[in-house]
Amino acid sequence: MKVLVIGSGGREHAIVKSLKKSSRITEIFCAPGNAGIGQDAALVPIKPMEFDKLAEFALNEKIDFTIVGMDDPLVGGIVDVFEEKGLRVFGPRKNAAILEGSKAFSKDLMKKYGIPTAAYETFTDANKAEAYLKTAKLPIVLKADGLALGKGVLICNTLEEAQDGVKEIMLDKKFGEAGTKLVVEEFMTGREVSVLTFCDGKTIRPMTSAQDHKRALDGDQGLNTGGMGTFSPSPFYTQEIADFCQKNIFEPTVAAMAKEGRPFKGIIFFGLMLTQEGPKVLEYNARFGDPEAQVVLPRMKNDLLEVMEACVDGKLDQIELQFEDNAAVCVILASKGYPVSYEKGFPITGLEKFDNKNDYFCFHAGTAVKDGKLVTGGGRVLGVTATGETLERAREKAYEATKWVSFDNKYMRNDIGKAISEA
């Protein structure tokens, strides 16, 4: 089979590497991919939002199966365009990807179907939002309704901060049209857990749990980033909590989407907060997490293609997901200055030690080739992942492997999975 993956980050590299283990695949393409993905797949220079060009490529190349890794094309309706042309494609249609595309939609859905989440109000008028804030309890959370590269969430400790936030999101349009609507949400406290699930429209199967570290600096300080590292599984996500989530969050979400005439096929990523009152949904995403995929997929025993095909064909009930009884840690090697400003184009060395099969994986996020040499090409450059019998062992191995890699302005957090493995 010929398979096309759409996207260009560490997540897509992890997807491609997992697909390489599938004996039924003869050729993997990735659009547009990156320098590292180019060592595992044939790169296709078409951008993820060029739906017609991508579909034309898939038709001409006789691609049997396409996997969409990123949120923007999913929310924009790429799956509908592919399906209209008779192409097999993994991911939610536009009317289901709205679960990630609109926070107001997802909050209303949870409220209607009794799925636990933070209390909230939605506003389209900045004056009304500001008036409401005067009566609200602090801290308070402001969320731009639409996609904002994971940056449209502001946690405000004072009324002034909240008022400034409303101005930034709704009037100055800091996150563009994503800020036309505003969700104002109760602040929750607790441990965060990411649970990625496969869905076929009716059945939902959770993968092993993970946790992301979103802030740029050690000790969860500094600015929010796309994610500086992950570990899997989360020791706080016990069997009891998993059972609660399956019954009260995962199954009700898939059932609710089906009932609304928006059957969800693909990945639902549940961002959960384990609060004193029980697990609650922080957010939904309609795709694998990045860098959650980099710790979850290396632990998965199933053939990824087979599971994805079962989702598309509505046969996920016939699949049991299986994960290794081990742990994984991914440390992001970034360019110093990320997520604000940073230089790129520095040569990268030391990647030959990674086996990329069993213990040590190097997933490329922002890399490029210049004059025949591998160079840094983005803020998040590489995701160094190691597996081990325990979280502590995986962590030691991942940090050992980060020392193999050299490039100018290399920056990483030193505490990925640390507080947890010591807890």
Residues that bind ligand AMP (CB under 6 A): 118, 141, 150, 153, 155, 185-188, 192, 214, 271, 282-283
Residue 266 binding partner per list ligand AMP, ligand GLY, none, with a CB distance cut-off of 5 to 8 Å that depends on partner kind: none
Q: How far is the CB of 1 from ligand GLY (least distance, A)?
A: 27
- Among ligand GLY, ligand AMP, none, the one that 227 touches (CB under a kind-dependent 5 to 8 A) is ligand GLY
Residue 25 or 188 with smaller CB distance to ligand AMP = 188
Nearer to ligand GLY, 200 or 212 (CB): 212
Q: In angstroms, give the least distance from the CB of 187 to ligand AMP.
A: 4
Burial 53-78 (b: 16+ CB within 10 A, else e): ebbebbeeeebbbbbbbbbbbbbbbb
**In this complex, which beta carbon is closest to ligand AMP, that of residue 202 or of residue 214?**
214
Radius of gyration of the chain (CA): 21
Q: Which of the listed partners (ligand GLY, ligand AMP, none) does 290 bind, with a CB threshold of 5 to 8 Å by partner kind? A: ligand GLY
Residue nearest to ligand AMP (CB): 283
Which residue, 159 or 258, is less far from ligand AMP as judged by CB? Answer: 159
Q: How far is the CB of 220 from ligand AMP (least distance, A)?
A: 9
Smallest distance, ligand AMP to C-beta of residue 285, A: 8
Q: Which of these, 113, 100, 51, lies nearest to 71 by C-alpha position?
A: 100
Positions in the binding site for ligand GLY (CB under 6 A): 150, 212, 227, 285, 289-290, 292
Choose among ligand AMP, ligand GLY, none what residue 289 binds, the Cβ cut-off being 5 to 8 Å by kind.
Answer: ligand GLY
Q: Which does 42 bind (CB under 5 to 8 A by kind): ligand GLY, ligand AMP, none?
A: none
Q: Least distance to ligand GLY from the beta carbon of 365, Å?
A: 12
For residue 283, the minimal CB distance to ligand AMP (Å) is 3
Residue closest to ligand GLY, measured at CB? 289
